[in-house]
Amino acid sequence: MIGNWTGDSRFWPALGVIIALLATATYIISEFEPTTGLIIGLSALVILAAMTNIEVALYVLIFSMLLGPQVVASTAAGTRLAGRGLTLRLDDFLLVIIGLLWLARIAIHSDLGVFTKTPLNRQIAWYTFACVLSTGLGMVLGRVEILTGSLFTLKYIEYFLIYFLAANNLKSRTQVRNYTVALLFVCLIVSLIGIIQIPAEGRATAPFEGSSEGIRAGNTEPNSFGGYLILMLALSLGLLVTQESRRAKLLLSLLIVIILMTLGATLSRASYLAVIPLYFSLLFFSKRRVGLIIGGLLFAGAFVFLSPQNIWQRIEHTYSAPGGEGIEVAGRFRLDASTSARVSSWKASLTEGWPQHPILGWGITGYGLVDAQYPRTLAEIGSFGFAAFLWLVISLFRLAKDHYRRTKDPLLKGVSLGFLAGHIAILTHAIGANSFVIVRIMEPYWFLAAVVMMVPRIEEVQPVTEASVTPAGFRR
C-alpha cells in the first residue's frame, strides 16, 4: 500500500506539508516540560498503529479523553502559558496526528472529502471564523500574546476535529453501539477512580490531574469532572428509558448509581445545579415518564437521607458565608468567596470588558480570566462571536430534538435523548464554568454530537428492521 501512495504525484506535496506542520509543532512543544517528548513519542506510535484503521484510532481517542495524562506548561513559558492555565494532554497530540494523517489520506484520495456534510457545518464554520477573526485582530492590536492566543484558539477548534472525524466515519448502528459502550466503559473506570479518592482526598477528580498532594491542596478541576459526569449521566439515563433489554437496564442502572456517587463526591455546585434541568428535560421529552418520576423520587429520598454531611455543607456555604466574606445578596444572604469571585468577574466582563470591544471582543485570552462561559464568550469574541455561539448551541438543541423524535431505533433514540438532555444540562453547567472550552467535557460532547447528527444518514443506510429494534449489544 505504501508503494501505491508514493507513486501518486500528490503524495510528496502532502508529505512536505505534514513535515512542515510537525516542525512547527516541535518548536511549540519545546516550550513545555521534557516529559512531553516521551508522551508525544508514545502517542505517535499508538496512533500510527491505529491509523491502519480509522475506527481503531477513534477508539484510542475515546479512551484517551479521560484516561490520558496531561502536561502543564514549563516554567520557561510560565509568563506566556502557565499563567493562563494551559495544559496539553495525550489526546491533544493524538488529535494532531490523526488529523494530519487524515488530511494526508484525503490528499491522496481526493474523493473522500475533507468534511462530510452535516447539519452543523455552517454554524461551526461561522463560530470558528469568529474565534480566529477576534483573536487575530487582538494579536495585531497587541491585546493577545501570539503563542498563547494561537494555542488556546487551536484548543477551542480541536473539538470540531473530533466531530468531523467521527461524522466522517459513522456508517452503521454497530459502530454507534460499540462507540457508546466504549464511552460508558471509560465513564465507569473514571467514576470508580473518583470514588476511590473519597476517603483520602475529599473531592473526586478525574485521573491524571496531578499528585495526591496537589489534589489535597485543591489544584484540580472537580468542576470539570462534574460536567463530564453530568453528560455521561444524561447519556446513561437516555439509554435506560429507551431500551427494552433487562440486562441493559440493569447495567445502566448500576452505572447511573456509580456516576451519582462520584458526582456527589466532586462537590461541584454547578454540576449539582445541572442535574435539575437534566432530569426535567428527560421528563419532558421521554414518553416513559412514570419510571422517571419513580426514579426521581427515589433519588430525592436517597439524597435527603443518605448524602454525606460535606455535600450539605458545600451547598449551604454558597449562600451563608461567614460575616465579612463574599458578597451580600438581598440583605440576608452572603455568598462565599468562590461564588463572589465568579459574580465579580461576570460583572466586570459585562460592564467593563465587553463594552470596550463590543463587536469582535478582546480575542481569545485577550481579556482576564472569567470562570463562566457566557460572559467569557461575550468578552473574548464579542457580540459577533456570541451570536455565532448561540446559533451553534440552538441548532444543536433543535436538531437533537428532531432526530430523537423521528428515529425509531431504540439505540439511536436513546443516544439522541441522552445528548439532548446532556446539552441542556451543560448549558446550565456553563453558568458556573467554561464548559464549552473544557477538554474533558467537550471531547465526549462533540463525539456524541456527531453520532446524533448522523442519525438520519445511519437510518437511511440501514433502515430499522425487526432485528434492529433491540441492538445486539443491548439484548438479553
CB 360 within 8 A of CB 387: no
CB 228 within 8 A of CB 265: no
- Distance of CA 317 to CAs 202, 331, 348, Å? 16, 16, 24
CB 132 within 8 A of CB 386: no
CB 182 within 8 A of CB 59: yes
Residue whose C-alpha cell is 473526586: 204
Task: Quickly count: other Cβ atoms within 10 Å of residue 99's Cβ.
Answer: 16
Of the candidates 61, 203, 85, the one whose C-alpha atom is nearest the C-alpha of residue 151 is 85
- 36 phi and psi angles, rounded to 5 deg: -60, -40
The pLDDT score that the predictor gives to residue 369 is 79
CB 285 within 8 A of CB 420: yes
Quick one: DSSP state of residue 202?
S
360 grid coordinates: 469582535
The pLDDT score that the predictor gives to residue 138 is 94
The pLDDT score that the predictor gives to residue 358 is 93
Instruction: Give me the helix-helix angle, 246-266 and 173-201, nearest 10°.
Output: 40
332 grid coordinates: 440576608
Given a cut of 70, the residues of the chain with pLDDT beneath it are 1-53, 69-91, 93, 97, 99-114, 199-202, 208-220, 317-337, 462-476
What DSSP string describes 139-168? Answer: HHTTSS-HHHHHHHHHHHHHHHHHHHHHHH
In the three-class reduction of DSSP (H, G, I as helix; E, B as strand; rest coil), residue 73 is classed as strand
CB 370 within 8 A of CB 346: yes
Of the candidates 187, 188, 220, the one whose C-alpha atom is nearest the C-alpha of residue 201 is 220
Instruction: Give me the helix-helix angle, 439-453 and 373-406, nearest 10°.
Output: 30
The pLDDT score that the predictor gives to residue 50 is 56
In the three-class reduction of DSSP (H, G, I as helix; E, B as strand; rest coil), residue 328 is classed as strand
In whole angstroms, what is the distance from residue 210 CA to residue 200 CA? 15
Roughly how many angstroms between the first and final C-alpha of the chain, as a whole number? 42
In the three-class reduction of DSSP (H, G, I as helix; E, B as strand; rest coil), residue 89 is classed as strand
Quick one: DSSP state of residue 368?
P
The number of residues making up the chain comes to: 476
Task: Quickly count: other Cβ atoms within 10 Å of residue 114's Cβ.
Answer: 11
For residue 122, give every residue at least 6 positions away whose Cβ sits within 8 Å of its Cβ, in sequence order, or none. none
Q: Which amino acid is at 393?
A: V
Cα-based torsion angle of the residue sequence 46, 48, 51, 53 in order, rounded to the nearest 10 degrees? -60
Q: How many secondary structure helices (H) and strands (E) does the chain include?
A: 20, 4
Instruction: Give me the helix-helix angle, 246-266 and 269-285, nearest 10°.
Output: 150
pLDDT tens for residues 416-453? 999 999 999 999 999 988 899 888 899 999 999 999 99
Looking only at the bridges linking them, the beta strands covering 333-334 and 328-329 are: antiparallel
The pLDDT score that the predictor gives to residue 251 is 95
Q: Radius of gyration over alpha carbons of the chain, in Å? A: 23
pTM of the model: 0.83
Instruction: Tell me the helix, strand and coil percentages in the chain, rounded to 5.
Output: 75, 5, 25
In whole angstroms, what is the distance from residue 340 CA to residue 358 CA? 25
The pLDDT score that the predictor gives to residue 327 is 56
In angstroms, how far apart are the furthest CA atoms of the chain?
77
In whole angstroms, what is the distance from residue 372 CA to residue 361 CA? 16
